[in-house]
Amino acid sequence: MSDKRANNSKIVKRLLLTVAGMFAFGFALVPLYNVFCEVTGFNGRTNNEPAAVSQHEVDKSRTVRVQFITRTAQGIPWKFEPEIKEVRVHPGEVRVVNFLAANPTPDDMVAQAIPSIAPAEASLYLNKVECFCFNQQPLAAGNDAKMPMQFYIDPDIPAHITTFTLSYTLYDMTANATPEALALLESTE
Amino acid sequence: MSTVVDDHNHEAHHDHKPSGITRWLFTTNHKDIGSMYLWFSLIMFFVGGAMAMVIRAELFQPGLQLVEPQFFNQMTTVHGLVMIFGAVMPAFTGLANWMVPMMIGAPDMALPRMNNWSFWILPFAFVILLSSLFMEGGGPDFGWTFYAPLSTTYSNDSTALFVFAVHIMGISSIMGAINVIVTIINMRAPGMTYMKMPLFVWTWLITAFLLIAVMPVLAGAVTMVLTDKYFGTSFFNAAGGGDPVMFQHIFWFFGHPEVYIMILPSFGIISAIIPTFSRKKLFGYSSMVYATASIAILSFLVWAHHMFTTGMPVFAELFFMYCTMLIAVPTGVKVFNWVATMWRGAISFEVPMLFALAFVILFTIGGFSGVMLAMTPVDFQYHDTYFVVAHFHYVLVTGAIFSVMAASYYWLPKWTGHMYDTTLARLHFWCSLISVNVLFFPMHFAGLAGMPRRIPDYAVQFADINQITSIGGFAFGLSQLLFLWLVIKCARGGEKATAKPWDGAEGLEWTVPSPAPYHTFETPPKVE
């Protein structure tokens, strides 16, 4: 009987370790998911650090249509739209597209734009050299701003991707503003 | 239920137990705990059922008649939570507590004190969950799947109570699962090798491993929802760098194995009942074991079929589609084995067999609609419609719940020592069988025609179908009162049951008298 008891506690210990391990695994799924998305382009994320300026030859033989969509999340009544709804670019060619934002409210606000690409596969080939989405964007009450986004498409982009859509959702981050954004906000006043 | 037949018990002096409430509070006896689990599950079945009645009453006509939309959402959410974590899972744990030690010739569960704890924290979890319905702002209203951001950004103040309730339910299930595993590994009678164990024991062993693997992931998911909502983290908040789609991946990594947690023990029950009333050995015992194990392994590879419309790459959609369809193979093995068991058997139609046969047919219908939903292109049409509701109610009500009913009718004489009123039982069966199909079958058509789920109002062209569905729902709900009455009647008295009331039954549980003495197999039986 005492042998069996020892044996019981051994199994229980192993099972409890498994439970703890699976609880940790649940949280480990978060970084794993991020790495997975980065590697496969799954879920259409873009680079959030500036990419190196294009060293590629421009591939004049084909053009890719890039469409822009903007929307604002709940609680941020800004005007937010692209200057141009779509562009046709050659792979390797560097382009700038401006996005216009206006804060019609009587309050100073800080916003963050979150990009997403459909089809997700295209996100592997979009390189942003400069983007307003890399940082929080402050706007004083009643002000507007022209926010640039500079990008090029990797010439390795598969032939079957002829069009993709880049969408930005603007979120209100006034309550969680970074010090840099707040400093910018003060300098404009 | 608790009376002891002394003349069959050679160790009657060990048999005394405290009386009154302390017996139930402090008991470490697997039969007492099993009974408490089963009663708890039955109570929760009626609580969740009452919520279903509210839902069906509101949907009886188009437009908003009885309840506010937000309360309707709370009803669909809490109905799901109560039925899954309060009715189906505790029913299976209760059956495991009662039957696993008796089936493997063990005197009790391996960890009796933990067993007491794993039951007694459960009522507290449900008091917390149900009381949140009466709070200002109401209870959880984001669906039992609590997708972010519905459960984070847009949820009401009671969300913390929901999270803690789910934590407690999870801890209870994990402790129950650990107990089952240790019992089966260590407490088998001499000669009871793994491949001689009854299939109910086998399916529960595999279920217990699934529970241990995925309940902690659910605990992680609710914890992330908690910190996102109250502590400013951004696991699922895109603005802060998180991803709401990731919530669905984590949730369904738990959620899909969870649906097999709710059906594998049913397979074990049906594999006990069909051979008994066909008076033949189970056809393909070892293939049943392997099929159960394959279903359990495959269940970890199919979670994203719940998410075909989230914009996954085509490759991922194909992968999850094929893996999902692959599950139909081991499931088909099981269904064919049950049919082959009945083939040329001397079949008789006692009540447990009626429920088992209804299970085989209706669960298979649910399986077929599952294969339809597995196909990515058509899933875009069916997603979030009543077709999905019809599918999972066929597998959970006519699958899991019918198997629990079958198990109850099969083992009630062993538990209570009395034969139940078979006329009443047959009435319960036929009322349930007809009403459950009136209830759920038309939902397929409502879904194919495009009626969305979890909406309190609907377009007028769905009125007739919803009226039929609601009538079926009320009838099914009322039919279950027959079951309650029957169980109470059987617990209180009736014709004395013999040790083996079913002539074709096999297994160690039928070698002890009915009702099963408080302590059984204190000296292990010898298994050939």
Same domain (yes/no): A183, A96: yes
b/e sequence A112-139, b meaning 16+ C-beta within 10 Å: bbbbbbbbbbbbbbbbbbebbbeebbbb
Same domain (yes/no): A30, A119: no
Query: What is the per-residue pLDDT for A5?
Result: 58
Q: How buried is residue A41: exposed, middle or buried, by Cβ count under 10 Å (0-12/13-18/19+)?
A: buried
Whole-number Cα distances in Å, B402 to B282, B366, B433: 20, 13, 9
Task: Measure in Å the smallest separation between the Cα of A158 and chain B Cα atoms.
Answer: 14
In a domain, A48, yes or no: no
Residue found under tokens 């421009």: A58
Query: What is the per-residue pLDDT for B313?
Result: 84
Question: What is the per-residue pLDDT across B71-104, written as a single tens digit (0 to 9) for each?
Answer: 999 999 999 999 999 999 999 999 999 999 999 9
Query: What is the per-residue pLDDT for B70?
Result: 94
Same domain (yes/no): A36, A68: no
Find the CATH number of the domain harbouring B174: 1.20.210.10
Alpha-helical segments (H) within B84-198: 89-104, 112-131, 159-186
Same domain (yes/no): A20, A68: no
CB contact under 8 A, A11 and B217: no
In a domain, B105, yes or no: yes
Query: What is the per-residue pLDDT for B98?
Result: 96
Query: What is the per-residue pLDDT for B279?
Result: 96
Same domain (yes/no): A113, A150: yes
- Which strands form A86-89's sheet, in the order they lie side by side? A86-89, A64-72, A163-172, A109-118, A137-139
**Residue B20 in contact with partner chain A when CB distance is under 8 A:** no
Q: Is B258 a catalytic residue?
A: yes
Distance, CA of B284 to CA of B337 (rounded, Å): 6
Distance, CA of B172 to CA of B97 (rounded, Å): 13
Q: Is B426 a catalytic residue?
A: no
CB contact under 8 A, B246 and A33: yes
Q: Is B173 a catalytic residue?
A: yes
Cis status, amide bond into B149, omega within 30 of 0: yes
Number of domains in chain A: 2
Question: What is the per-residue pLDDT across A46-95, written as a single tens digit (0 to 9) for each?
Answer: 777 788 776 778 888 999 999 999 999 888 999 999 999 999 999 999 99
In a domain, A137, yes or no: yes
Question: What is the per-residue pLDDT across B150-200, written as a single tens digit (0 to 9) for each?
Answer: 999 999 999 999 999 999 999 999 999 999 999 999 999 999 999 999 999
Q: Is B317 a catalytic residue?
A: no
Same domain (yes/no): A23, A113: no
Q: CA angle B245-B251-B255, nearest 5°? A: 135
In a domain, B240, yes or no: yes
Q: Is B458 a catalytic residue?
A: no
Same domain (yes/no): A83, A146: yes
In a domain, B10, yes or no: yes
Whole-number Cα distances in Å, B264 to B280, B399, B403, B465: 22, 10, 10, 32
Same domain (yes/no): A87, A140: yes
Give the residue-averaged pLDDT of B492-513. 94
B5 pLDDT more than 50: no
Per the structure, the complete domain to which residue B296 belongs is given by 6-511
Query: What is the per-residue pLDDT for A56?
Result: 76
Which of B178, B250, B313 lies closest to A15 in CB terms? Answer: B178
In a domain, B519, yes or no: no
Distance, CA of B130 to CA of A176 (rounded, Å): 35
Same domain (yes/no): A10, A91: no
Distance, CA of B60 to CA of B67 (rounded, Å): 12
- Which residue type occupies B288? M
Hey, which bits of chain A come out as E strands? 64-72, 79-82, 86-89, 95-102, 109-118, 126-131, 137-139, 144-153, 163-172
Question: What is the per-residue pLDDT across B110-143, written as a single tens digit (0 to 9) for each?
Answer: 999 999 999 999 999 999 999 999 999 999 999 9
What ipTM was predicted for this assembly? 0.90
Which pair of structure tokens corresponds to residue B48? 């969740």
Q: Is B528 a catalytic residue?
A: no
Q: Is B509 a catalytic residue?
A: no
SS3 B395: helix
Query: What is the per-residue pLDDT for B16?
Result: 66
End-to-end CA distance of chain A: 80
Query: What is the per-residue pLDDT for B14?
Result: 53
Backbone angles phi, psi at B452, to 5 degrees: -75, 150
Give the residue-averaged pLDDT of B42-67. 97
Distance, CA of B521 to CA of B184 (rounded, Å): 15
> Chain A residue with minimal CA distance to B179?
A12
Query: What is the per-residue pLDDT for B471?
Result: 98
Mutate to test the interface with A, among B187, B188, B212 (most CBs of A within 10 A): B212
Contacts of B218 in chain A (CB under 8 A): 26
Q: Give A164's pLDDT tier (boundaries 50, 70, 90).
A: very high
CB contact under 8 A, A19 and B216: yes
Number of domains in chain B: 1
| Neighbour count for residue A140 (Cβ, 10 Å) | 16
Distance, CA of B238 to CA of B247 (rounded, Å): 11
> Chain A residue with minimal CA distance to B184?
A8
> Chain A residue with minimal CA distance to B187?
A4
CB contact under 8 A, B232 and A176: yes
Same domain (yes/no): A36, A70: no
Query: What is the per-residue pLDDT for B1?
Result: 42
Contact B74, B158 (CB under 8 A): no
DSSP-assigned states of every residue in B450-467:
TPBSS-S---GGGHHHHH
Please, which residues bridge with residue A146 across strands?
A100
Please, which residues bridge with residue A151 across strands?
A95, A128
b/e sequence B169-207, b meaning 16+ C-beta within 10 Å: bbbbbbbbbbbbbbbbebbbbeebeeeebbbbbbbbbbb
In a domain, A178, yes or no: yes
Question: What is the per-residue pLDDT across B407-457, written as a single tens digit (0 to 9) for each?
Answer: 999 999 999 999 999 999 999 999 999 999 999 999 999 999 999 999 999
**Residue B185 in contact with partner chain A when CB distance is under 8 A:** yes
Alpha-helical segments (H) within B231-284: 244-261, 264-278
Question: What is the per-residue pLDDT across B370-394, written as a single tens digit (0 to 9) for each?
Answer: 999 999 999 999 999 999 999 999 9
> Chain A residue with minimal CA distance to B218?
A26
Whole-number Cα distances in Å, A179 to A120, A130, A182: 33, 21, 5
CB contact under 8 A, B212 and A18: yes
Residues 96-135 of B with CB under 8 A from A: 110-111
Per the structure, the complete domain to which residue A90 belongs is given by 64-188
Residue of B126, B208, B217 whose CA lies nearest to B173: B208
B320 pLDDT more than 90: yes
CA atoms within 13 A on the CB side of B136: 0
Which of B182, B232, B311 lies closest to A12 in CB terms? Answer: B182
Residue of B151, B253, B313 whose CA lies nearest to A27: B253
CA atoms within 13 A on the CB side of A187: 7
Same domain (yes/no): A142, A79: yes
| Neighbour count for residue B286 (Cβ, 10 Å) | 8
B3 pLDDT more than 50: no
Task: Measure in Å the smallest separation between the Cα of B313 and chain A Cα atoms.
Answer: 7
pTM exceeding 0.90: yes
Task: Measure in Å the smallest separation between the Cα of B213 and chain A Cα atoms.
Answer: 6
Count of all residues that appear for chain A in the document? 189
Find the CATH number of the domain harbouring A165: 2.60.370.10
Question: What is the per-residue pLDDT across B214-226, written as a single tens digit (0 to 9) for each?
Answer: 999 999 999 999 9
Task: Measure in Å the smallest separation between the Cα of B103 and chain A Cα atoms.
Answer: 19
Q: Give A189's pLDDT tier (boundaries 50, 70, 90).
A: low
Which of B111, B239, B253 lies closest to A171 in CB terms? Answer: B239
CB contact under 8 A, B239 and A25: no
In a domain, A142, yes or no: yes
SS3 A153: strand
SS3 A83: coil
In a domain, B523, yes or no: no
Distance, CA of B173 to CA of B36 (rounded, Å): 15
CB contact under 8 A, A22 and B217: yes
B492 pLDDT more than 90: yes
Distance, CA of B466 to CA of B419 (rounded, Å): 39
CB contact under 8 A, B178 and A16: yes
Query: What is the per-residue pLDDT for A120?
Result: 85
> Which of B27, B41, B203, B271 is flagged as catalytic?
B271
CB contact under 8 A, B182 and A15: yes
Question: What is the per-residue pLDDT across A120-161, written as a single tens digit (0 to 9) for each?
Answer: 888 889 999 999 989 899 999 999 999 999 999 999 899 999
Percent of chain B with pLDDT over 90: 91
CB contact under 8 A, A4 and B186: yes
> Chain A residue with minimal CA distance to B153?
A74
Q: Is B383 a catalytic residue?
A: no
Q: What is the 3-state secondary structure (H, E, C) of B12-63?
A: HHHCCCCCCHHHHHHCCCHHHHHHHHHHHHHHHHHHHHHHHHHHHHHCCCCC
Contacts of A68 (CB under 8 A, 6+ apart): A82, A84, A85, A86, A97, A99, A165, A166, A167, A168
Q: Give A40's pLDDT tier (boundaries 50, 70, 90).
A: confident
Size of interface A-B (CB pairs under 8 A): 92
Contacts of B448 (CB under 8 A, 6+ apart): B381, B382, B385, B387
Same domain (yes/no): A68, A159: yes
B4 pLDDT more than 50: no
Which of B212, B221, B246 lies closest to A15 in CB terms? Answer: B212
| Mean pLDDT over the full length of chain B | 94
Contact B493, B467 (CB under 8 A): no
Please, which residues bridge with residue B182 across strands?
none
In a domain, B365, yes or no: yes
Q: Is B306 a catalytic residue?
A: yes
**Residue B309 in contact with partner chain A when CB distance is under 8 A:** no
Query: What is the per-residue pLDDT for A177?
Result: 85
CB contact under 8 A, A12 and B240: no
| Mean pLDDT over the full length of chain A | 89
End-to-end CA distance of chain B: 31
CB contact under 8 A, A30 and B246: yes
In a domain, A98, yes or no: yes
Query: What is the per-residue pLDDT for B111?
Result: 95
**Residue B312 in contact with partner chain A when CB distance is under 8 A:** yes
Query: What is the per-residue pLDDT for A1?
Result: 46
> Chain B residue with minimal CA distance to A7?
B186
DSSP A54: P
Distance, CA of B307 to CA of B318 (rounded, Å): 12
CB contact under 8 A, A42 and B312: yes
